């Protein structure tokens, strides 16, 4: 087993731990933002993998092999995207961020057998710590905590690598690929439409281009879960780029009895995350009436809610943390 203290992939992390200035690494071969920015969509392919310094980033070799498996187009790649998501769940995103341009290329290839797997793995490195996050002040948040020196608002990953650099690299790649990813919102497969919404929600959208695309697609969408995904995607981008009309639209949705229950519940969660206003009685009544155990489990197909859950359906965890924050965490013994 490799010792991280001698593994060259952790060289930068060790140097930072010893007091090196983070700024001295900016723009260099250990800056995941700079390395990812060198990847050109027109040259992406299996051969490009070995031209990149995967070894400069923690768990880089694992991430490279996962991408290589996805490129093989055979059945052995089924768990490759899951490995990349697992790295992010373990708070180690740098190498997964380097995989993002390759995943975009696969996800946007309509003939690739692993496009769904690639799309599912795309968004994880573009979010900071979000597994288990379900409270109003943190759900959908693209920044968390006070600024800490040059580490921006994200601090460091479990490896010691600056988390903000990993997230920024992944988001920049997704933002640049927005024109290629947008058509996935119109896929014939609802699962692809949901995952596309989840991925695009991490892109920069100061001009509301994406939110306009979500709104247009919402009027065309007939699948309630895919509609709910568009609502949550709009809420996430609106939290990063506040816009009163978008917040008002989401507020109207949870009140609209003509909307599917899944949409109203997604809108209730989205509105609570976008405001600090006290939850009105009408919202409590809506959630109490619609958030059944069965529906909550079904809504775990929405990646936001699946990530929020910790041993319980994500919707119910969000409801408890947002509307009843005084309640203790339920006891969850994985060995019981």
- Is residue 36 within 8 A of residue 100, CB to CB? The reply is yes
Give the chain's mean pLDDT. Answer: 89
Which tokens in the block code for residue 78?
């089924």
Residue 234 is predicted with a pLDDT of 97
Span 224-267, pLDDT tens digits: 999 999 999 999 999 999 999 999 999 999 999 999 999 999 99
Cβ–Cβ under 8 Å, residues 262 and 226: no
Predicted local confidence at residue 146, as pLDDT: 45
* 315 closest CA partner among 300, 325, 329: 300
- pLDDT tens sequence across 179-215: 999 999 999 999 999 999 999 999 999 889 999 999 9
Longest C-alpha distance within the chain, in Å? 61
Residues in the chain, overall count: 336
For every residue of 79-122, DSSP letters joined together read: THHHHHHHHHHTT--HHHHHHHHHHHHHHT-TT-TTHHHHHHHH
Q: Indicate the pLDDT class of residue 48, thresholds 50, 70 and 90.
A: confident
Written as six digits, the tokens of 296 are 């909550």
Q: What pLDDT, on the 0 to 100 scale, is given for residue 259?
A: 98
Could you report how far apart the first and last alpha carbons of the chain are, in Å? Answer: 31
Residue reference for tokens 């943190």? 138
Composition of the chain by helix, strand, coil, percent to 5: 60, 0, 35
Residue 41 is predicted with a pLDDT of: 73
pLDDT (tens digit, 9 = 90+) per residue, 80-127?
Answer: 888 998 899 888 999 999 999 999 999 999 998 889 989 998 999 998
* Nearest Cα residue to 173 out of 239, 69, 97: 97
Higher pLDDT, residue 269 or 15: 269
């Amino acid at each position: 087993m490799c010792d991280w203290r001698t593994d060259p992939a952790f060289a930068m992390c060790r140097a930072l731990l010893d007091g090196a200035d983070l700024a001295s690494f900016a723009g260099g071969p250990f800056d995941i933002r700079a390395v990812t920015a060198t990847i050109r969509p027109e040259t992406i392919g299996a051969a490009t993998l070995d031209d990149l310094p995967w070894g400069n980033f923690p768990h880089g070799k694992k991430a490279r092999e996962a991408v290589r498996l996805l490129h093989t187009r055979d059945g052995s790649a089924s768990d490759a995207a899951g490995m990349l998501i697992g790295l992010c769940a373990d708070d180690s995103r740098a190498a997964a961020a380097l995989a993002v341009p390759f995943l975009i290329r696969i996800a946007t290839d309509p003939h690739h057998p692993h496009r769904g797997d690639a799309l599912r793995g795309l968004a994880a490195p573009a979010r900071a710590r979000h597994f288990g996050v379900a409270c109003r002040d943190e759900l959908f948040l693209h920044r968390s905590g006070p600024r800490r020196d040059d580490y921006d608002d994200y601090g460091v990953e479990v490896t010691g690598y600056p988390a903000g650099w990993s997230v920024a690299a992944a988001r920049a790649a997704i933002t640049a690929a927005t024109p290629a990813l947008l058509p996935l919102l119109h896929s014939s497969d609802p699962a692809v439409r949901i995952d596309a919404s989840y991925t695009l929600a991490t892109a920069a959208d100061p001009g509301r281009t994406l939110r306009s695309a979500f709104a247009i697609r919402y009027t065309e969408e007939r699948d309630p879960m895919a509609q709910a995904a568009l609502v949550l995607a709009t809420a996430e981008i609106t939290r990063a780029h506040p816009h009163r009309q978008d917040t008002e639209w989401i507020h109207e949705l949870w009140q609209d009895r003509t909307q599917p229950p899944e949409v109203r519940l997604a809108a209730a969660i989205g509105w609570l995350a976008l405001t600090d206003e006290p939850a009105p009685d009408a919202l409590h009544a809506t959630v109490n009436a619609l958030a059944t155990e069965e529906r909550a489990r079904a809504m775990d197909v929405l990646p936001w809610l699946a990530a929020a859950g910790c041993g319980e359906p994500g919707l119910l965890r969000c409801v408890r943390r947002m509307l009843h924050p005084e309640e203790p965490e339920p006891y969850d013994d994985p060995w019981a």
